[in-house]
Amino acid sequence: MQFRFRRLCRIRWILVFIIVLVSSFFAINKWLIYTPFSSDFVELETCPACFGISLCDLFKTKDVQLSGWERFSFFNNDQFNIKNIYYGSLKNQPVIFKKMAHHSEWISFDICRQNKSCHNHVGTSLATLLPCSDHLFVSKFRQAFINSTGFDGLESEISLDTTIEINLEPIVLSALSNSDLPIPFYYGACGRVGVFSNEGSNLVSYLQYSFRFRAFLARELLISMHQLNTRNSDMIVYYGDVNLENFVYNQNERRVKIIDLEYVNIVERHLFSATNVNSDYKHSQGKQLNSNVYCRRYLPDYNVEQVCRYVLSPSNETNQREMSSDFLHSIPASINRRWNLTNIISACAQTGSTSERLVLYEQLLKILSQIV
State mean pLDDT over 124-147: 88
Give residue 271's pLDDT band: very low, low, confident or very high (50, 70, 90): confident
Would you say residue 69 has pLDDT above 70?
no
CA dist 110 and 101 (Å) reads 12
Averaged pLDDT of the chain? 85
Domains in the chain, CATH or no CATH each: 32-198 (no CATH), 201-371 (1.10.510)
Give residue 4's pLDDT band: very low, low, confident or very high (50, 70, 90): low
Q: Return phi, psi of residue 359, to 5°.
A: -65, -45
Would you say residue 273 has pLDDT above 80?
no
Q: 41-68 burial string, b = 16+ CB within 10 Å, else e?
A: bbbbeebbbbbbbbbbebbeeeebbbee
In percent, how much of the chain has pLDDT > 70? 79
Could you tell me which residues are beta bridge partners of residue 267? 236
Could you tell me which residue, 135 or 27, shows the higher pLDDT?
135
Give residue 14's pLDDT band: very low, low, confident or very high (50, 70, 90): confident
In this prediction, residue 192 carries a pLDDT of 97
State mean pLDDT over 322-342: 90
Would you say residue 223 has pLDDT above 90?
yes
| HSE-up (13 A, CA, CB side) for residue 236 | 25
- pTM of structure: 0.84
3-state secondary structure of 238: strand
Contact 203, 256 (CB under 8 A): yes
State mean pLDDT over 113-126: 60
Could you tell me which residues are beta bridge partners of residue 2? none
Q: Which of 27, 25, 35, 95 is nearest to 61 (CA)?
A: 35
In this prediction, residue 330 carries a pLDDT of 94
In this prediction, residue 211 carries a pLDDT of 97
Beta-strand pair 193-197/186-190: antiparallel
pLDDT tens track for 175-187: 998 888 999 999 9
CA dist 152 and 146 (Å) reads 8
pLDDT tens track for 137-174: 999 999 999 999 999 999 999 999 999 999 999 999 99
CA dist 372 and 369 (Å) reads 5
Q: Which amino acid is at 322?
A: E
- Report the phi/psi class of residue 246: left, alpha or beta, with left for phi > 0 and alpha for psi in -120 to 50: alpha
Give residue 116's pLDDT band: very low, low, confident or very high (50, 70, 90): low
In this prediction, residue 115 carries a pLDDT of 72
Could you tell me which residue, 60 or 70, shows the higher pLDDT?
60
3-state secondary structure of 317: helix
